[in-house]
Amino acid sequence: MELMVNLSRTTRRGLAGVAALTGLAVVVPAGAQAAPTNEAGTRPVPVVGKAAESGTDEHVHAEAPTAKAGYTGPSALKIVRYNKLYKTGPIPASRCKEVNVSMRTVAGVNKYATQVYKCLYAAWKPILAKAGARSTAAPKLHITTASTVNTRCGVQRMTRAFYCENNIYFPANQMVSLWKQNSTYARTYATNTMAHEYGHHIQEQTGIMDASWWRQRAMKTQSAKLEESRRRELQASCLGSAYIGANRRFYPMTGALYNQWRWMVNNMGDAKGYPRDHGSFKNHGWWSEHGFYATSSTTTAARCNTYESAPARVS
Ligand SMILES: [Zn+2]
């Protein structure tokens, strides 16, 4: 039995072009057993059920951007493709440990997720400084039990994590219910989701987010817009995974947790029948592992330059 968890689908409304969701369709293996591999043939088929909220292509109907004077095609391309972020060198291991707490309660989710968030801040701060980022400050973290939140990117249903302009919104109740289904999966999901959202924050602070949204709006065809969205989302996942990989000896992302992580990232992305705005499962897995698997001395943000990648790799 499998189920589609309602932490997933993707929509975004981009006021000022900076909204982005985790928005990843995920299949959760039911029961206590983590799915240890991503072998072809053993991979569960995604069940796209009523939990998925956006059969519509909402990101196309993003709210009008605030004025973004100063971009041109070449200048926006320069920001996304030749960003100083890609020259910042190895990502330091934060040496943060996973906090040993049950996420059976909202308080537990709060503890667990806040720890991951603090670790991400510690690891990324020097990178942001080297990249000449707008700010090296952490985003504001909202662990919320609300069903909707009012954000600068519009009202958002808290069925999934969400990033908007220096804010990470993280739904607590969904994590509790995930924990009750499969605690290893819940740990993996919480860690990976927070890392992905923090990846959006890195994009935000380095100017990539705004420039990418500008490019997306300027694009003429729907397929070009979707490809730009996929480059942005796959990069956020790659950056998140690069952090997890850089810190993997300390967290530690090994054993069952690692197996679950690897399975999960290869089973995330655009589910059948939904907008192709996050990338195929295959490419999501590829970018996640690409970020993660470098040796510690070469785990760099440069590996996550999805804007330089051939279209097939961001399909
Ligand atoms: Zn995202």
Task: Quote the ligand 1 centre to 93 CA distance (angstroms).
Answer: 23
Task: Quote the ligand 1 centre to 238 CA distance (angstroms).
Answer: 11
Task: Quote the ligand 1 centre to 301 CA distance (angstroms).
Answer: 16
150 is written with which tokens? 């009012």
Residue-by-residue pLDDT tens, the chain, 315 positions: 223 333 333 323 222 222 333 444 444 443 333 332 222 222 332 322 222 222 222 333 233 344 466 799 999 999 999 999 999 988 888 888 999 999 999 999 999 999 999 999 999 999 999 999 999 999 999 999 999 999 988 898 888 899 999 999 999 999 999 999 999 999 999 999 999 999 999 999 999 999 999 999 999 999 999 999 999 999 999 999 999 999 988 888 999 999 999 999 999 999 888 889 999 999 999 999 999 986 655 678 899 999 999 999 999
Task: Quote the ligand 1 centre to 248 CA distance (angstroms).
Answer: 22
Q: Treating both helix axes as pointing N-terminal to C-terminal, what angle do 255-265 and 183-205 enclose, rounded to 10 degrees?
A: 60
Residue among 2, 1, 6, 12 nearest 278 (CA): 12
Q: Treating both helix axes as pointing N-terminal to C-terminal, what angle do 208-218 and 183-205 enclose, rounded to 10 degrees?
A: 80
Residue 252 parent element (H or E): none
Q: Give the model's pLDDT for residue 299.
A: 72
Residues 234 and 119: their CA atoms lie apart, in Å, by: 21
CB-proximal residues (5 Å) to ion ligand 1: 20, 22, 233, 236
Domain ranges for the chain, please list them: 2-28+69-314
247 is written with which tokens? 């810190």
Task: Quote the ligand 1 centre to 12 CA distance (angstroms).
Answer: 9
Q: Could you tell me if 243 and 198 are in contact, meaning their C-beta atoms sit under 8 angstroms apart?
A: yes
Task: Quote the ligand 1 centre to 233 CA distance (angstroms).
Answer: 5
Residue 167, classed as helix, strand or coil, is strand
Residues 191 and 265: their CA atoms lie apart, in Å, by: 12
Residues 109 and 244: their CA atoms lie apart, in Å, by: 19
